[in-house]
Structures are given as C-alpha cells and as structure tokens.
Amino acid sequence: MRVSRSMMAATIAACAGSVMAQPVVDGLYDAGTEGGLYSDVIWVNNNATAFGDNGPGLFQGGVFGDPETVASGVEICIPLASLGLSGGETIRIAGWVNSGDRTFKSNQIVGDLIVDTNNLGGAQDLNAAPFDTTTQHITVDLSAIASGTPVVDGALDGGVGGAAYTNAFLQGNYTGFGNETDGTADGSGPNGGGSEIDGIYMAKDATNLYIFVAGNLENNGNAVDLYIDTGAGGDATLGNGTGDGGFIIDGQSGLVFDAGFDADYLFSVDAWNDDADDGTTPNVPRAYFGAMASTIDDLGSLAGYGAANAGALVGGVSMGIDNSNIAGVLGSQASPTPVSPDTNWAYGSELDNCRVYIDDLNHRLYIFIGGNMQNNWNKLNFFFDVQPGGQNVLLDNNVDISFNNLNGMAGITFDAGFEPDYWMNTNNGVSGDDLLNFTDAATLRTNGANIDPFFGVITDYGSFFGGEVVATPVMDFSGPRADIQDGTFGSLFAEYAPRLLEADPFNPMPALIQIAIDNSNVAGVTDVAADPAAAAAVNSGIEICIDLDELGWDGAQDILMAGWISNDSFSFLSNQILGGIPDGSDNVGDRDSDGDGIIDLDFNNIVGDQFINLSAPPAPNCPADLNGDGALDFFDIVMLLSNLTDYNGDTVFDFFDIVNFLGDFQAGCP
C-alpha cells in the first residue's frame, strides 16, 4: 500500500521535540523521563551491607542533655479513689508543658517526639504525620511501680535510681520553653527562666498515686498538663471543658490523642499572681484537677516554691515544686544531623543496583548506581577498563591524588582480564558545620603516570572537584585550577578531568566528568538481608556522566567497570563490591590482611567476577526506539518510514502501524 511519507514524517516529528535526549545528572533515576535512555538494571547486589544501613527515622548526635540526672521538679499526690483506681491497674499518661492560656504547647511532651522537634503550638492530631511514627503517651502498670509513701516536696526521694520511685519516662528532645540556669527553688533569679519535662517517675501506697515530673516549671504562668487514661471510657479528642479549669481543655480543643488513648482525668499545675491588685505577691504554684466528663476544679495554691512551701491542697491532693534543676535537656537543638530520609545525608553506605546508558551521539557514558554514601568520608572507588593495556595490578607510580591513597592501593590485583585505565572515587562528609562532597580522578597508564622524557617531570594530573553540597550538588570538574608544569612541580593538580587536560593543559575543557549523590534511599539491601527485588527498585544514589574520550575508550573494547566502597583511608574494603561477592559475605577487610605492609588483596581469590560489563546492557522496554540507541528521536521515525516497518506485527505496513508507533512514541519509555 502507498503511504504519503512526508505527511506522516511531519506528523511524527511533531511529537519528537518533547522527548528527553539525555539523563539529568542528579543522583536520581526517573523512570518516566529516563527510562528510555538508561538500560534496565544490569547488576543487583546480593549482600546485606556491613557498612551501615540507611533506614528511615535515623539521626546522629542527639546529645540533648542529661535528663536522667534530674531529681527535682513537680511532685504530685492524688488519692487513688479520686481516679477510680485501686492501685493494680494499667493506666496511660499524656501531657506537655503549655502556655498559661493553654493555647500553645511546647515541645516538652510525655512521649517520643522526633529529636529536635520544635514547639508544637495549637491542637494536633497525634495520629497524623509527623506524629504517626511516634507515641505521645506512656503506659504504666501500677502493680509494678514502687510502693511506699514519698515526701511530697518537689525533690525525688532517694534521688535518681532510688527505691522510692519507678522511672516511667525520660525526655528525648530539647526544650523550646527556655532552659533554667539559675538554680534557685523558684527559678526567678536573673539567669533563670525555663520549663522542661526531663522525666516521669511513679509510686503508690495503699491510698495515693504519686507522680513526679522531673524538670522545671517557670513561674511565669507556664503549665504542666497531664491527661490520665484509666481505661474507663474517656475523650479521644479534646472538646470543651467546664469548671474553673475548663479553659485548659478549651485551649487545646480539637487535639486528637494517640489511637487507643481516651483521657478520663486532667491534672494541671501552673503559676499565677494570687495578689494581682497590689503585685506584691510573686507568682505561686496552683493546681487543677477533675474528670473529663465532669468539671475541672481549682484545687488552690501553695505559698511558694521549695520544700518549705510544699503541702496539701483540697480533695486530698498535695503538691510541691522545686525549680532548682539546672541539668536535664538543653535549651537549643542538639542533633547535628538530619532525620533520614534526606537528600544529602545517609547513615550507612550500600550499593544496590546499576544501570547504564551509552550516548553515542554525544559520546558520553552515563552510569546510575542505586545506593547510599554515608557522610563519614567513606570512599566509592570506580575503575574502568576501556582500552588495551592498563594495570591488572595497581602500580605505586601513579599520580598523587586523594592524599596519595591511589598509590596507597598499589598491589591490589583485579580479576584476570580486567586491566583498568581510569580511576575515580567519590565521597561526602562533614567539616565543621559544612556538608561537603568530593570526587577525585586519575588516568591509569600501563607503566604509571606520564613523565616528560626530556625534562624528567610529571605531566599527568591528579584531578579533584567538590565543595559544599548545597553550592556544588553536581561535581562537574569545571575548574578553575589547572597547574602548568614549568619543570618545578613534583605533582600536578587540577579541577578539570585529567586525561584530556594532560593532552592540552592550556585549553582545559569543563564538565567532561559530572557526578552527583542523592542519599535519600532508605530501602534496598539492609544490614541483615539483601532482597533482590528491593535492591533493584532503588532509584536514588550515585550518578555519573563521563566523556568517552576522557575515559580513554578506544571505541571497540567492551567498557568494563569494577568498584567498591571502602573506609575513608581506602584501607578497609566493605562487602559492597560491584559485580558481587558470594552471598552472605562479610566485609572484604584490610587490603593488607597480614599486616606486613604489602597489599595482598587479589580478586582472583574471590568467587565470580568483581566487575561489570557496561557495553551490552539489556535494552529498556521501549518499542518505539527502533534503532536501539536509547533515545526516541527523528532517527526512529526515519527507520519506520524508510523500512516500511510492520510495527504492529500484522504482516502489512499500513496506517495502523503509524497509529501504534505514534502512541508508543508519545508515551515515551518507562
């Protein structure tokens, strides 16, 4: 059948402009935009990582103080009968430090807020993000707590670890309501002022329940509100309160407790000026108590703070408050590292999978490695075999780079048939308050670094690029440094790619290498198991683009790649090895295993090939890519029309082949 090719070509070409021709080097594999470029996964890790697993919710450096040492605070005695208890039940307690009008909660919560959570403010749904991963109450078995009759004076009888009280909770977050540093009982000195809940301690006798809130309650009107679930109905959501203390509930109206927590009683303590007319009486402690289903009553006030002012209120309740604590949680955020997942931060190093795209048109090699690089300067080494010759055994006369640790690896023997011609390593870490990433690169020549035969000086470069992550998310070797050998340099360093710079040092070319790290993966292999499906599904990690001339590819040999994650000094290899090592293997270990200073690591002694062939990857599932170059473009259209391709397989080339092709072309590649 005859077809108007010019018309069809114009129609098809109109769709081609939106098709992406090159991957974006950002450490992410986007199946929607890059699926027709990158291959399917060509390697999947079969080993759990022994260099740390970057799981969700991890953080480091939570040195938020010493709440376990605090032995003063708010001490309360409540008759068991007033709570409908006998002393053998299991109860739950939720609570927080609150503003005087109860409308603004602090971050001092009885529960498990994520470290460095700021003040919470108004009402929250404690079942919704970000609270859904933590529990904002404690559960206390009254039959298992300390038995006795403590002295209610604001001091923990017997101190921390004593027999008088049982610890039920320790704080895990800094205080956003000020840090008491004065050390006086009322906390009113010139350096004082702060409210915090460092811990909850519990005790009982035959008549009373004792609750000790270790910490401080600033005498500016701040409050400690404790909601008690005794298991008999109650409120899952705060509504409106009644009685003198009804405003306490009103201030957080709409708050939803953790699923299964139903508040039956409220006990609240704050500070107020009981002689507001003349202002001569300082703020003094005051308490409220009542059933949620009834009224919240004002139990009266103490004369002041400290043991001498502790005493009984109404209804058999007694209370004492001592603000002399200056220890406990800090008054500022404590964790120097983010909570995972985070684009720039990981708490472990792993390799999960590999994809590749060879861009013949632009003469570029793209590699995507799913995984993570911990921010502790662990090194991810890449070795490329791209032409005849190379170093099957690493030499000690290569360029000085990575503080000469490339030469420090001299003696490592690769699998037979693998002779690398090029090396890179990438890493990230912290210096002071700055998060940095770096990549180093060097040419590996069969006889070591090039030496000018006339002047006897080195002409090969040790190249590096990097800096602060936010400012340099892509390490693109764009200069400006490029040493020019004048006969005096023992080593040459540059911030351009090394091979082509050596050939023409006066005309450096930027961006011949580009590399990015995205550390947001929290899946893949774990530190106990390697699930192939989970590892293959990881779509964030390390992404590389390198010019094939810079790499040294001869255009004929298969491009082979080896690599591994090591420690920061390159001296200890993990079990995260490209190409894989036997299932269940531990870290490879010291490159010098017998301690004699001679590198004796020989990959021939490990089962299998510890390298990957990048030249023959499986094609992505992209039927409209008729010429198989990994891109949907004009050349696929030409192939369809010039060959009258039976695209839909019905044995004839007709209008339906065009329609089917257009549909797949427009859809792109997965």
Q: What is the DSSP string of 244-265?
A: TTHHHHHHTTT-BPPTT--B-E
Residue 264 token pair? 């039956």
CB atoms within 10 A of CB 316: 15
Distances 478 to 26, 426, 474, 501, 514 between C-alpha atoms, Å: 16, 16, 10, 12, 9
Task: Give the pLDDT confidence score for residue 333 in this predicted structure.
Answer: 81
Residue 162 token pair? 């004593």
**Nearest residue to 591 (alpha-carbon basis) of 410, 384, 354:** 410
Looking at the structure of the chain, the number of domains it has is: 2
Mean pLDDT for 456-475 is 95
DSSP notation for 576-604 = EETT--STT----EESSTTSSSS---BGG
**Nearest residue to 221 (alpha-carbon basis) of 188, 190, 255:** 188
For residue range 200-236, list pLDDT tens digits in order.
Answer: 999 999 999 999 999 999 988 899 999 999 997 899 9
Residue 250 token pair? 């009103």
- Quote the domain boundaries for residue 561: 43-54+346-598+606-613
Question: Within this chain, do residues 316 and 395 fall inside the same structural domain, yes or no?
Answer: no
Question: Within this chain, do residues 273 and 391 fall inside the same structural domain, yes or no?
Answer: no
For residue range 301-360, list pLDDT tens digits in order.
Answer: 999 999 999 999 999 999 999 999 999 998 888 766 888 999 999 999 999 999 999 998
- pLDDT confidence of 4, banded at 50, 70, 90? very low
Q: Are 580 and 608 in contact (CB under 8 A)?
A: yes
Residue 15 has pLDDT above 90, yes or no: no
DSSP notation for 288-306 = EEEETTS-EEEEEE-SSSS
Tell me the average pLDDT of the chain: 89
Residue with tokens 């009254």: 142
Question: Within this chain, do residues 351 and 296 fall inside the same structural domain, yes or no?
Answer: no
Question: Within this chain, do residues 352 and 206 fall inside the same structural domain, yes or no?
Answer: no
Burial 266-289 (b: 16+ CB within 10 A, else e): bbbbbbbeeeeeeeeeebbbbbbb
Question: Within this chain, do residues 352 and 268 fall inside the same structural domain, yes or no?
Answer: no
> Which are the contacts of 226, defined by CB distance < 8 A and separation ≥ 6?
93, 94, 95, 110, 211, 213, 266, 267, 268
- Cis peptide preceding 130, ω within 30 of 0: yes
Q: Indicate whether 657 belongs to any domain.
A: no
Most confident region among 15-29, 160-174, 264-278 by mean pLDDT: 160-174
Question: Within this chain, do residues 353 and 485 fall inside the same structural domain, yes or no?
Answer: yes
Q: Indicate whether 489 belongs to any domain.
A: yes
To the nearest 10°, the Cα dihedral for 522, 524, 528, 529?
A: 160
Q: Indicate whether 383 belongs to any domain.
A: yes
DSSP state of 26: S
- pLDDT confidence of 618, banded at 50, 70, 90? low
Question: Within this chain, do residues 542 and 510 fall inside the same structural domain, yes or no?
Answer: yes
* Angstrom distance (rounded) from CA 195 to CA 101: 15
Mean pLDDT for 398-410 is 95
Distances 442 to 464, 509, 656 between C-alpha atoms, Å: 9, 16, 53
Question: Within this chain, do residues 395 and 312 fall inside the same structural domain, yes or no?
Answer: no
Residues in the chain: 670
* Angstrom distance (rounded) from CA 589 to CA 301: 67
Residue 483 has pLDDT above 50, yes or no: yes
More confident residue, 542 or 179: 542
Mean pLDDT for 122-146 is 94
**Beta pairing class for 461-468 and 492-494:** parallel
| CA angle in degrees (0–180, nearest 5) for 93-97-100 | 125
Q: How far apart are the first and last CA of the chain?
A: 33
Q: Indicate whether 583 belongs to any domain.
A: yes
Question: Within this chain, do residues 47 and 82 fall inside the same structural domain, yes or no?
Answer: no
Residue 552 has pLDDT above 60, yes or no: yes
Question: Within this chain, do residues 47 and 103 fall inside the same structural domain, yes or no?
Answer: no
Task: Give the pLDDT confidence score for residue 20 in this predicted structure.
Answer: 43
Q: Can you say whether residue 580 is alpha, beta or left, with left for phi > 0 and alpha for psi between -120 and 50 degrees?
A: left
- pLDDT confidence of 189, banded at 50, 70, 90? low
Task: Give the pLDDT confidence score for residue 11 in this predicted structure.
Answer: 36
**Beta pairing class for 166-170 and 196-204:** antiparallel
Question: Within this chain, do residues 310 and 367 fall inside the same structural domain, yes or no?
Answer: no
Q: Indicate whether 555 belongs to any domain.
A: yes
Question: Within this chain, do residues 150 and 295 fall inside the same structural domain, yes or no?
Answer: yes
- pLDDT confidence of 185, banded at 50, 70, 90? confident
Task: Give the pLDDT confidence score for residue 625 in this predicted structure.
Answer: 73
Task: Give the pLDDT confidence score for residue 21 in this predicted structure.
Answer: 61
**Beta pairing class for 146-147 and 196-204:** parallel
Mean pLDDT for 443-463 is 96
Q: Domain boundary at 294, 324, 354, which?
A: 324
Q: Indicate whether 226 belongs to any domain.
A: yes
Q: pLDDT > 90: what percent of the chain?
A: 72
For residue range 45-101, list pLDDT tens digits in order.
Answer: 999 999 999 999 887 766 778 999 999 999 999 999 999 999 999 999 999 999 999
Q: Indicate whether 170 belongs to any domain.
A: yes
SS3 548: helix
Q: Indicate whether 20 belongs to any domain.
A: no
Task: Give the pLDDT confidence score for residue 670 in this predicted structure.
Answer: 54
Helix, strand, coil percentages (3-state) for the chain, rounded to 5, are 10, 30, 60
